[in-house]
Structure 1
């Protein structure tokens, strides 16, 4: 029973981060607003970097689930939880709202940590 839940949550998180990454490529300004800090002029390169980072993390997470083990995917999720924690701080330090910082980024970090715990338990 735990295995499908652990793999399912990890799959959804990995797929969602790929979606977010692709959004930063296809609609960078809208994605920046959704992130919590609207992008100024000249920010396109940084938005593309974020898109690449997120897409790569999602693909790596899916590859670990498909080709390695739940244990490896769990360690990946544990480490990658640092990203939304860092995003929380970035949003707060750059004028974003607490609602976005905690309601989106910090909450995401918590869900990623739950996913790691479930994968470790498999």
Structure 2
């Protein structure tokens, strides 16, 4: 799974063994131009997981490889780094509880931004 976000939009790409699904959305008014790029990326990850489950692209107990192009997110999601940002703390809590609830087997992988398949949908 690839995901990205900026001040106006979020996007994600989910690869299965046979297909690639890509989506993008504009931020709701509450967030548009009012959050940081990292906060936007957490929203994108949250929505991508939720969308993936809701459309049955990701199923309970699936193995999901989440590709991260931000070192800080990689460290935060691997519990190596804490944050003082309450917005991000809440997103991490939701993501972790969603993963646990659905019994997803997650592997976080650090990638270069140029290899993030979802960032082209923000342009």
Above 0.5 in TM-score? no
Normalized per residue, the structure richer in helix is 1
| Higher radius of gyration, 1 or 2 | 1
